[in-house]
Amino acid sequence: MSSLVARHRGLLALSTRETHRVLKLWTQTVAAPILSSFLFIAVFGLSLGGRIKHIDGVPYEIFIVPGLVTMAMIQAAYGNNSASVFQARFDRYLNDVVAAPMRSWEVNLGLSIGGVVRALLIGGGLLLLSLPLVDVPVHHPLELMVAVALALTLFASFGVVVGIYATSWDHTAFVTNIVILPLTFLGGVFYSVDLLPSPWHEISHVNPIFYLLNAVRYGFLGTSDVSVALSLAVTGVLAAAMVAWSSWLFRTGHRLKP
């Protein structure tokens, strides 16, 4: 065990640093996203719950929780890692990390850990805070764990990639506001895509976040607009592609070498 730790002490140090960065500013990195997402549950669940009784046999105030938890987690995983990597590049701290005697996959994993930890804290905290209002079941825990793992892998790696390519803070925020947030809302956070008329129903199936949301919702509620196997497969392929991309950047030093 000690030899294993010694071989990967660089990975452990980098992971600890990224995690400490999240926990040190917990009011901004964890508490604020939990509160803002909880307000969605309270406002939309309580206000629209009286008008929209059920979707797919699930009370509306419960139906929206998995989507909001997913939205908060993927935004946190992406936002944390894109900001952390861009800041490391801006401060030229990343040059020291890349030059350290660490394998490329260790650098990639170490920089991604902070976003994963932050996302899990937000997702768990949001579920706990919502318990007094809604009782969200977990019908398929195995599928839920796989869906969450793939989602965080996808967006944590995506954040690393954007952080490497970004040339200003505006670029990292642009992806959140123009890409991730709209696709998340259009993916069915507040509604079932099956309720949409043609051609919007068909267009929604082109949205990759639609499959991610349905995979997580199936884990919680046991209901989904598409096959859970298809949802996990699409999310898994995207996650593998993003990990391969971020790993390639560190292996080749593309846009990293001064």
User: Which DSSP string do the residues of 153-177 spell out, in sequence order?
Assistant: HHHHHHHHHHHHH-SSHHHHHHIII
The answer as to whether 145 is a domain residue is: yes
239, part of any domain: yes
Signed CA dihedral, 203, 42, 172, 154: sign only:
negative
Determine the pLDDT at residue 257. Answer: 66
107 occurs within a structural domain:
yes
The pTM of this model reads 0.93
Question: Does 258 map to a domain?
Answer: no
Is 180 among the domain residues?
Answer: yes
Q: What is the pLDDT of residue 148?
A: 97
Spell out the residues 6+ positions from residue 178 whose beta carbon is closer than 8 angstroms to its own: none
Q: Report whether 162 contacts 82 (CB < 8 A).
A: yes
pLDDT at 258: 58
Predicted confidence at residue 253, as pLDDT, reads: 84
In a domain, 189, yes or no: yes
Query: In the prediction, which pLDDT does 158 show?
Result: 97
Measured between alpha carbons, how far is 217 from 44 in angstroms, rounded to an integer? 17
pLDDT truncated to tens, each residue of the chain (258 aa)?
Answer: 567 666 778 889 899 999 999 999 899 999 999 999 999 888 877 776 666 778 888 888 889 999 999 999 999 999 999 999 999 988 888 888 888 788 889 999 999 999 999 999 999 999 999 988 888 999 999 999 999 999 999 999 999 999 999 988 899 999 999 999 999 989 999 888 888 888 888 999 999 999 999 999 999 999 999 999 999 999 999 999 999 999 999 988 888 765
Given this model, what pLDDT does residue 183 score? 93
For residue 257, being part of any structural domain is answered with no
What's the structural domain count of the chain?
A: 1
Question: What pLDDT is stored for residue 42 in this prediction?
Answer: 84
Which residue range is the domain that position 94 belongs to?
A: 2-252
